[in-house]
């Protein structure tokens, strides 16, 4: 404080929680009294450290120990007649940790968009009308601190995430504020529920071609990663009809026959996109194989019998010729 060139008696006041007289100053005799007019115990916590002579800077110096929030305020000098001492004014700011911040921003952005989250906190330092203090911001994703190059520069109240994708679906963002080295509590987590359409369609347990023996069941589950969940529809492309009762994720035929073979398409869609994938169902007939086996058996039997008969006839003829030759001799 610098009450230079003041010759009349004055008091040092603080206008904080209440207006309190702290010091009585007699400039001519360079005498200062610490006054006990407050419950904050200034008489034990204030120490007068000197006053420069008028030939020097004219500064009034005193120290307050064990500062509390009640010491925050504007310190000024005033004479008995209410006259304000020019140049004798100083604001004492007692820093406190900022309020717990809150995060605002879209909760359900669409994939591909840019998203800006804003961290908001208030200073709790006193007095409330104190000069501006620097407040910095710390961001983290899933409890990992973000730095430059992690999607957005940190240190500001805004965090911009460019071209968000399904990969960050469910990520949790939180922030913390720092003022005069005092850290706030961490904010509640802000969850990004990213909306996106289908990308790849999966057929569980099979590729784009399914071979099934006639009479056996055929089951194919069609699925796709979507948010919100996609509607799934199976189409019989060969017959240009929707398969009744199959507007769900599973194509199920209890017992296939040749008539159900052909091309099927799984179509998935939600409000953010659609996709399709074809499935070829081939049915092998058991009848062809069995009839082939059955037809071979009687032919082989007939052939065997004919061979035996021919052999017997040949033997009989030979025997008869031999007997006739013997009788001639």
Amino acid 299: pLDDT: 42
CB of 249 within 8 A of CB of 232? yes
**How confident is the model over 276-297, as pLDDT tens digits?**
999 999 998 775 444 444 333 4
Amino acid 54: pLDDT: 45
Q: How many CB atoms lie within 10 A of CB 112?
A: 12
- Taking the C-alpha atoms of residue 157 and residue 319, their distance in angstroms, rounded to an integer, is 119
Amino acid 36: pLDDT: 62
Low-confidence ranges of the chain (pLDDT < 50): 53-55, 153, 288-300, 302, 328-329
- Give this prediction's pTM: 0.70
- Taking the C-alpha atoms of residue 221 and residue 234, their distance in angstroms, rounded to an integer, is 10
- Taking the C-alpha atoms of residue 184 and residue 118, their distance in angstroms, rounded to an integer, is 16
- DSSP letter string over 184-252? PPPPPPEE---BB----EEEET--SEEEEETTS-EEEEEEE--BSPPEEEEEEGGGTEEPTT--SSEEE
Tokens of 196: 């996106």
Q: Is the dihedral of CA 74, 80, 84, 88 positive or negative?
A: negative
CB of 191 within 8 A of CB of 164? no
Q: How many CA atoms lie within 13 A of 316 on its CB side?
A: 6
- Taking the C-alpha atoms of residue 207 and residue 167, their distance in angstroms, rounded to an integer, is 26
Q: Is 261 exposed, middle or buried (0-12, 13-18, 19+ CB in 10 A)?
A: buried
Question: How far from 192 is each of 171, 198, 224, CA to CA, in Å?
Answer: 6, 18, 20
Q: Which of 120, 124, 62 is CA-nearest to residue 93?
A: 124
Residues 6+ apart with CB under 8 A from 153: none
Amino acid 121: pLDDT: 96
Amino acid 295: pLDDT: 37
Amino acid 16: pLDDT: 61
- Taking the C-alpha atoms of residue 287 and residue 42, their distance in angstroms, rounded to an integer, is 108
Question: How far from 326 is each of 220, 228, 311, CA to CA, in Å?
Answer: 83, 105, 23
Amino acid 123: pLDDT: 95
């Amino acid at each position: 404080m610098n009450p230079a060139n003041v010759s009349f008696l004055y008091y040092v006041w603080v206008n904080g929680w209440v207006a309190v007289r702290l010091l009585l100053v007699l400039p001519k005799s360079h005498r200062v009294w610490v006054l006990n007019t407050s419950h904050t115990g200034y008489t034990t916590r204030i120490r007068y450290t000197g006053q420069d002579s008028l030939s020097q800077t004219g500064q009034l110096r005193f120290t307050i120990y064990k500062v509390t929030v009640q010491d925050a305020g504007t310190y000024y000098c005033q004479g008995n007649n209410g006259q304000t001492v020019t140049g004798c004014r100083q604001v004492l700011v007692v820093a406190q940790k900022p309020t717990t911040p809150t995060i605002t921003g879209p909760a359900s952005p669409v994939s591909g968009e840019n998203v800006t989250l804003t961290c908001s906190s208030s200073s709790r330092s006193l007095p409330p009308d104190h000069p501006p203090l620097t407040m910095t911001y710390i961001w983290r994703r899933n409890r990992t601190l973000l730095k430059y190059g992690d999607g957005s520069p940190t240190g500001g109240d805004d965090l911009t995430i460019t071209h968000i994708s399904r990969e960050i679906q469910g990520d949790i963002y939180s922030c913390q504020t720092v003022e005069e080295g005092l850290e706030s509590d961490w904010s509640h987590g802000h969850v990004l529920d990213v909306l996106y359409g289908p990308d790849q369609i999966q057929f569980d347990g099979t590729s784009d071609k399914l071979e099934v023996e006639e009479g056996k069941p055929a089951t194919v589950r069609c699925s796709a990663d979507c948010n919100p969940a996609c509607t799934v529809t199976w189409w019989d492309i060969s017959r240009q009809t929707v398969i009744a009762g199959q507007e769900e994720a599973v194509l199920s035929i209890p017992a296939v026959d040749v008539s159900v073979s052909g091309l099927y398409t799984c179509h998935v869609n939600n409000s953010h996109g659609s996709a399709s994938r074809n499935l070829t169902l081939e049915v092998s007939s058991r009848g062809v194989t069995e009839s082939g086996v059955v037809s071979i058996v009687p032919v082989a039997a007939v052939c065997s019998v004919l061979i035996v008969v021919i052999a017997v006839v040949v033997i009989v003829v030979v025997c008869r010729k031999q007997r006739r030759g013997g009788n001639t001799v």
